[in-house]
Amino acid sequence: MRFADLAAAYEQLESTPKRLEMRRILTELVRPLRPPELPYVLFLSQGALRPEYEAVELGVAASLARRAVARATGVPETTVAQRTESNGDLGTTAYDLVAALHRLDAGEPLTVEAVYRTLRDIAGATGAGSQDAKVDRLTDLLARASPLEAKYLVRFVLGTLRVGVREMSLLDALATAFADGSKEARGRIEAAYNLSSDLGLVATALVEGGLPALDAIRLEVGRPIRPMLAEREPTLAAILERMGGSAALEYKYDGLRVQAHLFEDGSVRLFSRRLEEISAQFPELRRALPAAVGRRPAILEGECVPIDPETDEIRPFQEVSRRRGRKHDLDVAQEEVPVCLFAFDLLLLGGEPVLHRPFPERRRLLAEALRPGEKVRLADQRIVRSLEEATEFFELALAEGAEGVVAKSLAEGSGYRAGARGFWWIKYKRDYTAGLSDSIDGVVVGGFHGRGRRAGRFGAYLLAVYDPARDRFETFCKVGSGFDDAALAELPKRLHGRERDARPEGVESGIVPDRWFEPGLVLEVRGAELTLSPVHRAAQGAVRPGAGLALRFPRFTGRIRDDKGPTEATTSKELLSMYQAQVRQATSGPPSAGAT
Ligand code: AMP
């Protein structure tokens, strides 16, 4: 195919807002094509050179493209820049400048194949002198281009191709051009795409072997599968009803979804939910995974969550997001924000795809295949058969730092649905965006030995509120965040003389710290919200038998409340009214509050 035909199709696509018309144009565009041209056109139309997960980047900055336009048209770079400044698009500038040349003989017409290969060369140029090489190649293409070709070449290179072709429209076009266009054909094509994330591969198989050839496309290690997605329901009761009375509830960890591909030789590639390769960001997971899963090749999915190295508690998601896209200072990042992968699904094991098996079986295989360690663990799960059980597990999830639960169907048909959102998975989380506006003054009743950078000191403290009616100190959180080096050095001095080997009289706690402290020192903390807890004892039984109150994501504000004695700390009753205010706020909020 001549590149001019592709550029003309783009021009048409850009000028029509009608979906049906777009579909017709795309279908006509792909119909005459065969491999290898067909995949080229599919990739180019998505503004890419290869499937997204391969992350092949052209690496041509706007300044380089400007230089190439200037050179190819013999116009000074400043003029190119000025014109682009006023019309807002270097592609349009390229069109105008090439048109003004009135080229009579531009030589051999450009073909899609030649353009594609040159673009691959441009992408492949790295290292010293690569910028010049990129500009040279682009200049050559532009020197041979018609105005329209130049416009779309430049836009492609800059990533501003605005023809609005989404992968779903391309799948439609493939179904019409190379199959009977039926819903069934479209479904099979999409299924193959969801499994392989590679439109070029799917189109090639379809053209060469028809629909049956798609069945040969299998899940393969190194090629990410499009992730299964969760639906939502407003209440746990609605979830149970949908799932026929019972379900597997899992903690919904608030982190980064990771698809881990483990090769036979122990090498690992990690992909994000959007199928970007994120292997470089998590070297510690790449190291830990082969030790955790012996039966390889394997593909598993999990949520990558920051973990406080001192307290082993789940940290807020923002801390892991800081590591995305970060390629330098990885050692620093690992120490600052250590992460743990909570594995929740298994798609391939020992080279065998297991994704079509019902979820309970996949979970069993995952549990059997995984040797959990510090960095890779199994997602917490419980099979629930009543609303009571579901509520209890949900509260436990919140108490332990998860953002809610994901309910998973136990039904026969609960195979992994690549790329699909459905009621086989239903998410439910509490809306706690309001946060806790009040700070809490907690009494230090225990300390935990630090690890890593905090080795040899206390890395976290156990805090309690005071119940004047019973003269008791009841724990409500273990706080390890918000302490700078000065505070870490200062606190043991302040606590000197209060150390105890056994739990001091009057302290109530379901947790045993490394060191007890006689209540005395008061610290100010803040947190995200109050939750019910099976281990903390603040206002125990006031909301539900056996449950105490706990502060989620506690953080030391930096303020030691020297002005307060232990009995002047926040009381259990105050904590209870904060909890009740929070519940009122949640239930009287907009209808969407309660589950997002
Ligand atoms: P959302 O991003 O709100 O649509 O919720 C679904 C996401 O929750 C998934 O894409 C995962 O990243 C995340 N997640 C956390 N824990 C789990 C779990 N146990 N099972 C499935 N997804 C989970």
Beta bridge partner(s), residue 304: 256, 341
Based on the domain organization, do 242 and 380 belong to the same domain?
Answer: yes
Based on the domain organization, do 286 and 408 belong to the same domain?
Answer: yes
Which of 265, 294, 303, 296 is CA-nearest to residue 370? 294
The CATH code of the domain that includes 473 is 2.40.50.140
Q: Is residue 298 part of a domain?
A: yes
Q: Is residue 347 part of a domain?
A: yes
Instruction: Tell me which of 128, 158, 188 is where a domain ends.
Output: 158
| Residue 297 CA to ligand 1 centre (angstroms) | 24
Distance CA 504, CA 471 (A): 13
Based on the domain organization, do 397 and 261 belong to the same domain?
Answer: yes
pLDDT per residue over 370-405, tens digit each? 999 999 999 999 999 999 999 999 988 988 888 899
Range of the domain at 151: 3-158
Based on the domain organization, do 67 and 113 belong to the same domain?
Answer: yes
Based on the domain organization, do 370 and 489 belong to the same domain?
Answer: no
| Residue 374 CA to ligand 1 centre (angstroms) | 21
C-alpha distances (whole Å) from 336 to each of 272, 318, 322, 450 are: 21, 13, 10, 14
| Residue 475 CA to ligand 1 centre (angstroms) | 31
pLDDT per residue over 176-225, tens digit each? 999 999 999 999 999 999 999 999 999 999 999 999 999 999 999 999 99
The CATH code of the domain that includes 310 is 3.30.470.30
pLDDT per residue over 488-502, tens digit each? 999 999 999 899 999
Q: Quick one: which H or E segment has residue 248?
A: strand 247-252
What angle, 0 to 180 degrees and rounded to 10, lies between the N-to-C axes of helices 62-73 and 147-158?
160
Whether 400 lines ligand 1, by a CB cut-off of 6 Å, is no
Whether 429 lines ligand 1, by a CB cut-off of 6 Å, is no
Based on the domain organization, do 15 and 82 belong to the same domain?
Answer: yes
E-assigned strand segments in 256-338 = 256-262, 268-271, 298-306
Q: Is residue 595 part of a domain?
A: no
Closest atom of ligand 1 to CA, residue 254: 15
Candidates 18, 151, 183, 252; catalytic one: 252
Based on the domain organization, do 283 and 347 belong to the same domain?
Answer: yes
* Atom 17 of ligand 1, nearest CA residue: 252
Based on the domain organization, do 91 and 148 belong to the same domain?
Answer: yes
Tell me the percentage of the chain whose pLDDT exceeds 90.
Answer: 74
Closest atom of ligand 1 to CA, residue 408: 20
pLDDT per residue over 244-272, tens digit each? 999 999 999 988 999 999 999 999 999 99
| Residue 253 CA to ligand 1 centre (angstroms) | 7
Based on the domain organization, do 254 and 367 belong to the same domain?
Answer: yes
- 478 in active site: no
Whether 382 lines ligand 1, by a CB cut-off of 6 Å, is no
Based on the domain organization, do 350 and 415 belong to the same domain?
Answer: yes
> Phi-psi category of 416—alpha, beta or left, where left has phi over 0 and alpha has psi -120 to 50?
beta
Which is more confidently placed, 568 or 135? 135
DSSP 445-513: EEEEEB-GGGBTSEEEEEEEEEETTTTEEEEEEEE-SS--HHHHHHHHHHHTT-EESSPPTTEE-SS--
Number of domains present in the structure of the chain:
4
Based on the domain organization, do 246 and 389 belong to the same domain?
Answer: yes
> Phi-psi category of 545—alpha, beta or left, where left has phi over 0 and alpha has psi -120 to 50?
beta
C-alpha distances (whole Å) from 58 to each of 63, 159, 160, 272 are: 14, 9, 13, 21
Based on the domain organization, do 73 and 208 belong to the same domain?
Answer: no
